[in-house]
Amino acid sequence: MKVNDNHLIFAAVILLFFAAYSPQKTEMLIIENQEPSAWFYAQRAFPTGHLNQKTYRQAQRQSIEMRKQSRLSQDQWIPAGPTNIGGRIVDIELKPGSPETIYLGTASGGVFKSIDDAQTFSPIFDQSLSLSIGDIAIAPSNPEVLYVGTGEANPGGGSLAYDGYGVYKSVDDGGNWQDMGLHSIGSVGRVAVSPQDANTVYVAAMGYLFENNSERGVFKTTDGGENWDQVLYLNDSTGAVDLSIHPLHPDTLYAVMWERVRRLEYYVYGGSSCGIYRSYNGGQNWEELSNGLPTGSNIGRIGIDISQSNPDVLYAIYADKTGYFEGLYKSEDGGDSWFETNDNSLSNIYSSYGWWFGRLKIDPQDEEVVYAIGFDVYKTSNGGDSWSYKTGIAHVDMHEVAISAVNSSRVFLANDGGLYSSNNGGDSWTHENGLPITQFYTCEIDESVPERLYGGAQDNGTNRTLSGNPDAWASIYGGDGFRCLVDPNDDRYIYAEYQYGNLARSTNYGSSFTSATSGISSSDRKNWNTPVTFNPLNPNSLYYGANRLYKSINKAVSWSAISDDLSNGAGSGNQKYGTITTISVSPVDTNYIYAGTDDANVWLSKDNGELWQNISNGLPQRWISRLVADPFDVHSAYVCLSGYRENDYMPHLLKTEDEGATWQDISAGLPEAPINDLIVDPQESSRLIVATDVGVFYRDGNTESWQALGEGLPLLPITDLDFQEASNKLVAATYGRSMYYLELTVGTQKQKTIRNSQLHLAPNPTSDYFNIVMPYICGHELLEIYSINGKLLFSQSLSNAQLTFNVHDLHLSKGVYIVNLEQDGKTYAQQLIVE
């Protein structure tokens, strides 16, 4: 990302966000789902507060088998990008002896490899059961041997809903991977391989994020991962987050222990068991180092590194329990004693959330050169006597630095915005493209120009491509990006949102935005991902879900509440929102409005919000992730659920055909995983496509059996879908691998059409008449009007370039229609809305 005004605005938004929500220095820190990990976990753990990891892994394996057996494999998912926006990278490894080979570990998108010095990258880890990466290690004695510890150890990332799935090993430079166990260690802070033996490996395990467990601390193998021993353990709330091995005496190693307890209601990121430990005998015995180092109950996360050129020199960076910078310390005698460097200029490096960083890196050729990373990156060239700011144009939130062993000026930086490189020791940075690792919450197709895709992304705002090229995306709105809508009739109007319902509107194709929350009470509760949707028959009208439902009839210029509180209140225990999560308006009769909440309520209004009826009876008590009104039958609707069963089977997709009086489970055969979105084929209501945490699946009404849809989609959460009927284009938003699309060959078999400016309908929407305007007549035009389910209603050859039709003469009742124009061998189409 090059420096520009949007980058500066984004950085300011992030600073203000964390300043507003920085926890106070108290013994027990109370949080209100301020971070994506809490939001991801909360909906999947509701109502018990516990996420069933075993059921999730079973769902993953079922998804893999369904993909192998699918008869729909002719549909190929195509990467849509962005590859130039980035996303969170947690580790960088440079291959010894091969300076152009680079490995990257991403927060939720797997491992990537480059063999051309970051010019191009390829995913090499997609067959594993966890694409959340904690750390990568290359064996110094045999660089073809790689180890990957799964599960991001940084406690704020949304990739942590499921933690990791242990350690994997490759003996062929990442070509193939073997599961080496440790499935219950949750997340990995560091993997360290003995410099003399590729089979001797240490893993710093942090344990589960939202649960205490004993599978944490330091684990060791001497047989390449066939067997593991837990060689350092303090208690079930203290894990290991960092490791360093002496390059000449590999039995000497240093481990950093971090006390970390988290629940949805609170967290404690420090305590008296935090500290640095040293072993001289390969982990058999340990001693805590304290001479000159901070101690006590207020210590938080610590990062450590050992000099490769002079192993007597070590550096350690400390945060306190709250996350403020505590100090940067140096040892010149192998850790026997420590002293604080001149670190006054680093006082703001952690900005009250040091638990998100905790890393530093020493130049492998010079122990005087050190990079310290936090919200920003700083560098010393004199052993810590002075530090200089080096962030420059780079995205904030730093997670790793890698320095070339043969050229100290060549430096790589990993952060929440992706990968940056420098050829001058960090004096300037270049954002490296080619990495499809953006964590999307939503996706949107511009109905007028389906090549244009939009989406809201974690850490990277709202983005779009105008050309459809994966490397041609740009940010158009800041913060953490969420719902994004493009007016299907007039794409000058674009709506974008950042966290907690901060909605904005653009009237100039996204060139600028203004706030669009006038009339929405600031005291109302809003979800981290606040729902906003169009009236399907009139995009001038929109709906917004706080704890009450709001409606706008003037393109979000102003809003009015049309319901009371539809939740059960502010919430307690493991549910902290008490908000509407999903809205659906019937395209058959827009007086029918459905709303679902994060505390298991489904509501229906049949009179445009005047009266509301709770229709949740018969549904499992789960977070309502999506509601979809049937496009053909006003009495029918679908409900998608998040969460997991504890023991017995639990449905995740149900349908009502009687306005919620009864619900029918239609998810039998699907993997038992959260369903995040549903598309109903606009030509046939029994054809369904669902986005789940383990892939995309399809059901044909003729067989009523679920199948995996397409090939090429990584095994990670699919958070949103959008479908453009005219082109049969289906777009999927992934949380960690950007977007994908495919052109459906299943379901609809109608002729594909092109929607563009060749055909104009005005006024649209209409309740009386409409004009059809074309730029010219060639004498071979055919005009057709279809119902939304593909039934031909009207057909006429054209004789002039403008025609006027009365909807009553055409017997067009209120609804949505497709107007087709066949001209010069092509078919153009526009949607007509009759009110």
Instruction: Read off the pLDDT of residues 370-429 as tens digits, 9 standing for 90 and up.
Output: 999 999 999 999 999 999 999 999 999 999 999 999 999 999 999 999 999 999 999 999
Same-domain pairing of 374 and 472:
no
Which of 367-381, 397-411, 546-560, 636-650 comes out lowest in average pLDDT? 636-650
Same-domain pairing of 328 and 475: no
Task: Tell me the residue type at 30.
Answer: I
Domain end residue (candidates: 710, 743, 776): 743
Say whether both 514 and 614 belong to one domain: yes
% of the chain residues with pLDDT over 90: 75
Omega cis (within 30) before 717: no
State the SS3 of 499-532. Answer: CCCEEEEECCCCCCCEECCCCCCCCCCCCCCCCE
- Residue of 190, 205, 278, 286 whose CA lies nearest to 238: 205
Judged by average pLDDT, the poorest of 584-588, 707-711, 794-798 is 794-798
Q: Which of 1-5, 468-472, 730-734, 816-820 has the lowest mean pLDDT?
A: 1-5
Confidence grade of residue 70 (pLDDT, cut at 50, 70, 90): confident
Q: What is the pLDDT of residue 501?
A: 97
Query: Do 170 and 179 form a contact (C-beta atoms < 8 A)?
Result: no
Judged by average pLDDT, the poorest of 29-38, 207-216, 738-747 is 29-38
| Phi, psi of 36, deg, nearest 5 | -60, -35
Average pLDDT for 810-825: 79
* Whether residue 772 sits in one domain with residue 705: no
pLDDT at 799: 73
pLDDT interval class at 611 (50, 70, 90): very high
CA 315 from centroid of its chain's CA atoms: 33
For the segment 176-199, the average pLDDT, to the nearest whole number, is: 97
Same domain, 428 and 454: no
Q: Residue 799 belongs to a domain with what CATH number?
A: 2.60.40.10
Gyration radius of the chain's alpha carbons: 28
Residue 604 lies in a domain: yes
Whether residue 416 contacts residue 108, with contact meaning beta carbons closer than 8 Å, is answered with no
Same domain, 450 and 404: no
User: pLDDT value at position 751?
Assistant: 36
In the predicted structure, residue 140 carries a pLDDT above the cut 50: yes
Residues 421, 458 within the same domain? no
Q: Is the pLDDT of residue 750 over 60?
A: no
Closest Cα partner for 574 from 217, 130, 263, 177? 263
Mean pLDDT computed over every residue of the chain:
90
161: region left, alpha or beta (phi > 0 left; psi from -120 to 50 alpha): alpha
User: Do residues 254 and 244 lie in contact, with contact meaning Cβ atoms separated by under 8 Å?
Assistant: yes
C-alpha of 157 from chain center: 9
Q: What is the pLDDT of residue 783?
A: 84
Would you say 644 and 672 are in contact if contact means Cβ atoms under 8 Å apart? yes
pLDDT recorded at residue 68 = 86
What tokens does 12 get? 């300011």
**What is the token pair recorded at 833?**
């809305």
Burial of residue 824, with CB atoms counted within 10 A of its CB: 0-12 exposed, 13-18 middle, 19 or more buried: exposed
| Stretch (H or E) spanning 707 | strand 706-708
Identify whether the C-beta of residue 643 lies closer than 8 Å to the C-beta of residue 664.
no
Given a cut of 50, whether residue 2 has pLDDT beyond it is no
Does some domain include residue 779?
A: yes
- Reading the block at residue 328, the tokens are 């940067």
Residue 76: CB partners within 8 Å, gap ≥ 6?
710, 711, 712, 742
Q: Residue 37's pLDDT band (boundaries 50, 70, 90)?
A: confident
Asked whether residue 120 carries a pLDDT value surpassing 50, the answer given is yes
**Is 749 part of a structural domain of the chain?**
no
Q: Do 706 and 788 belong together in one domain?
A: no
User: Which CATH number do you get for residue 418?
Assistant: 2.130.10.10
Report the pLDDT value the prediction gives residue 777, as an integer from 0 to 100: 64
766 domain-assigned:
yes
pLDDT on residue 831:
75
Among residues 384, 412, 432, the one where a domain terminates is 432
Distances (CA, A) of 679 to 539, 724, 730, 731: 19, 11, 9, 11
Query: What's the pLDDT band for 268 if we cut at 50, 70, 90?
Result: very high
Whether residues 484 and 579 share a domain: the answer is yes
* Long-range contacts formed by 342-345: CB under 8 A, 24+ apart: 342/384, 342/385, 342/386, 342/387, 343/384, 343/387, 345/378, 345/386, 345/387, 345/388, 345/389
pLDDT, residue 569, reads 92
Question: Which range has the worst mean pLDDT, 216-220, 335-339, 347-351?
Answer: 347-351
For residue 650, being part of any structural domain is answered with yes
Both 323 and 455 in one domain: the answer is no
Measure the CA dihedral 22/26/28/34, to 10°. Answer: -10
What is the number of structural domains in the chain? Answer: 3
**Which contiguous run of DSSP H or E holds residue 300?**
strand 299-306
pLDDT for res 828: 72
- pLDDT at residue 16 greater than cutoff 50: no
Residue among 19, 15, 11, 21 at smallest CA distance from 528: 21
Q: For residue 673, is pLDDT > 50? A: yes
What is the H or E stretch that residue 42 is in? helix 36-45
In a domain, 388, yes or no: yes
Same domain, 196 and 339: yes
Q: Reduced to 3 states, what is the DSSP secondary structure of residue 722? A: strand
User: Is pLDDT at 775 greater than 80 in this prediction?
Assistant: no
The pLDDT assigned to 407 comes to 95
Residues 695 and 619 placed together within one structural domain of the fold: yes
- Order of strands across the sheet that contains 494-498: 485-486, 494-498, 502-506, 514-515
Span 278-337, pLDDT tens digits: 999 999 999 999 999 999 999 999 999 999 999 999 999 999 999 999 999 999 999 999
d(CA 474, CA 463): 5
pLDDT band at 439, cuts 50/70/90?
very high
Of the residues 401, 432, 463, the one at which a domain ends: 432
For position 11, what pLDDT does the model report? 37
Tell whether 249 is covered by a domain: yes
Range of the domain at 629: 444-743
| Any domain includes 508 | yes
